[in-house]
Amino acid sequence: MSNDARANGAPGNGARGNGAHRLRLAPGCRLIDPMPYLSLLEERFGISAAQLREQYVFFVGGNKYLYSLCAEHRLPPGPEVAFSGIKFMRISMKVPKLTTEASILLGARASRNYVELEADQLRAYFARQEIRLDTAASSACTGPGYVLVRHEGVTLGSAYLNPRDRNREPEQSPEPGAKPDAGAQHGAELGDRPLLRSWFPKHWSQVITIR
Amino acid sequence: MKGPIELPDYAYEHLERYRPLLGEQWDRFLDALRRPLPVAAWRNAARVDEASFENWFYNVEPGVTLERLPWFDRGYRLWAAEASEAAEAPAGGLRTPDPTPGNRAARALGLLHLQEEVSMIPAVLLGAQPGEQILDLCGAPGNKTALVASLMEDRGTIVCNDTDIKRLRAGRTAWSRLGFSSIAATNHDGGSYPAPTESFDRVLVDAPCSGEGTSRRNLSSLRPAPPDYYRMLHRRQRRLLERALQLCRPGGRVVYSTCTYAPEENELVIADVLAARRAGGRAGSGLTPVPARLAGLESAPGITRYDGAELGGELENAMRVWPHLNDSGGFFVAVLEKRPRE
């Protein structure tokens, strides 16, 4: 079912009452065609865009974020929605990026460009430090750039995989959403022991303590 | 190790009104109120399976000992590991709840959600199914809403309503962390919620209350109340429950809960709503108070007599959770089912 059909009140699972249940969004939000963004995810991570469209509808509230909402979501007429769904992707950047929440949500679905950390690397990841990976840890990565980070079946968030300059200072690593430089384009070599820069959220990194 | 809680004189004076309801259990009740409240949480089953969850606390965050709740397979108590080991020895001391549950990576990653054990009860008793349309009428800050979403596998519609938009926004942070996309927030007075009647499959009314059952983390809930306090709360709670019953479809379910011991806010609300519906000519009121019981959770039946008045035998189906029964907070739950339309 298309986003438009849902917005026009096509009956969904469990419609009841006077039958006027339909997808309703907060004022200022509008459904959009998410395919340009979902295609990016499919290309980079192998996450099926078709599956995401089955599971969610996508809308924007302003120009900064794409939001996801359960595709079965239906509301009766009357109550005004204050907000709904979750922030899915930051789309105002040169390179749209999954939010941390969505990265964690989708991490298990990624079939490429994910990194498996060892237990002794978790502290560095949560502290937003750089981690030098061995070849096996980055074996699912097709090239430099944005990757999802996992540990024993649990997705931890995202990071930036930088192959080029082992001596690069941490502050010179790109921030999330920065325009990729030449070395971070698809097809670039990862090389030996690439460098992983954690994008774990700063506010969490300041409070989490693990041994 | 956290020591016992010292109850001030006003707490004893306030609680005295419940001595007749507790009878021989009075001393056990007071003992429980003096102990630190265990930290509890539920596993986000959409994100992590049981084995990976328990493995996480064994390998990654080993400072915590998990104790599974006997009545809810996704629920756990979190104890400080050192203290729980000591408690297994005959030290006779108190077990120490995990002192920093909010700083756990498992929480940040949405593997679990911290919630007091008794607060999980109404969401479980609501029995929501994937794809249904659910209203949490007084839902902020959205913790029970989150558990409902988890039990519905994040499929369908869950509306979290509250008059306090700031507390609703706090819920949004938690729902995002847990990855739930099925929740919408609305900001209306629950007593006059502006939706057509029979709009929802199930409605949860976790009514604003005097909060006496939360004294193990908030002693001020036992401060003396103004004379008209319970009557004022009763009026508000009754209005919320009546609106919830209108909004629930025939064949649907309404769960009414509070975190207080006061019969005025509990059984008397249910009894008055049932009586009013019967007086309104609805045969049998169209409502059935069904047994609110959970295997593995110790509870007492709702009271059927109070202050010289008969409340009706069906009130026995309600659930009272006194703190000493499960080493928890205090809670009240009633489950009402609307008769299907013939």
Reply yes or no on whether B248 is catalytic.
Answer: no
Q: In angstroms, what separates the C-alpha of B65 from chain A's closest C-alpha? A: 14
Q: How confident is the model at residue A177 (pLDDT cuts 50, 70, 90)?
A: low
pTM score, whole prediction: 0.91
- Tell me: the pLDDT tens digits for A121-147? 999 999 999 999 988 888 999 988 999
Other Cβ atoms less than 10 A from the Cβ of B94: the count is 15
pLDDT band at A185 (very low <50, low <70, confident <90, very high): very low
Nearest CA to CA, how far is B34 from chain A (Å)?
A: 30
Q: Does the beta-carbon distance from B133 to A21 stay under 8 Å?
A: yes
User: Which of B55, B175, B180 is nearest residue A152 as measured by Cβ atoms?
Assistant: B55
**Across residues A180-203, what is the average pLDDT?**
71
Interface list for B 194-223 with A (CB within 8 A): 194-201
Residue in B131, B168, B176 closest to A82 by CB: B168
How many CB pairs below 8 A link A and B?
Answer: 146
**Partner A contacted by B133 (CB < 8 A):** yes
Q: Which member of A14, A82, A155 has the closest CB to residue B156?
A: A14
Of B61, B165, B195, Cβ closest to residue A79: B195
- Residue B63 has a pLDDT of 87
pLDDT 10s digits, B247-281 = 999 999 999 999 999 999 999 999 999 999 888 76
Q: With a cut of 50, which residues of chain B have pLDDT below it?
A: 1, 83-84, 86-87, 89-92
For residue A75, the 8-state DSSP code is B
Q: How far apart are CA A14 and CA A105, in angstroms?
A: 26
Chain A interface test: which of B43, B55, B134, B157 (most A C-beta within 10 Å): B157
Q: Where does the pLDDT of residue A111 fall: very low under 50, low under 70, confident under 90, or very high at 90 and above?
A: very high
The per-residue pLDDT for B160 is: 98
| Whether the Cβ atoms of residue B202 and residue B127 lie closer than 8 Å to each other | yes
Instruction: Tell me what the mean pLDDT of segment A39-66 comes to.
Output: 95
ipTM: 0.92
Question: Are B217 and B308 within 8 A, CB to CB?
Answer: no
Query: Where do the DSSP E strands lie in B37-145?
Result: 39-43, 64-68, 75-80, 112-114, 133-136
Query: Is B100 near chain A, with CB under 8 Å?
Result: yes
**Locus of tokens 């059935």:** B288
Report the pLDDT value the prediction gives residue B261, as an integer from 0 to 100.
98
A201 interaction partners in chain B (CB closer than 8 Å):
108
Spatial distance between the Cα atoms of A146 and A177, rounded to a whole number of angstroms: 9
* Interatomic CA distance for residues B161 and A119, integer angstroms: 41
CA distance A175 to A130: 13
What does each C-alpha distance from B141 to A181, B46, B47, B173 come to in angstroms?
43, 21, 22, 10
Q: What pLDDT was estimated at residue A175?
A: 54
Q: What residues of A are in contact with residue B56 (Cβ under 8 Å)? A: 152, 154
**Of A167-181, A185-199, B45-59, which range is least confident?**
A167-181
Task: Say yes or no: A106 contacts chain B, CB-CB below 8 A.
Answer: no
Distance to chain A for B281, nearest Cα, Å = 23
Q: Which residue of B lies nearest to A211 if distances are taken between CA atoms?
A: B61
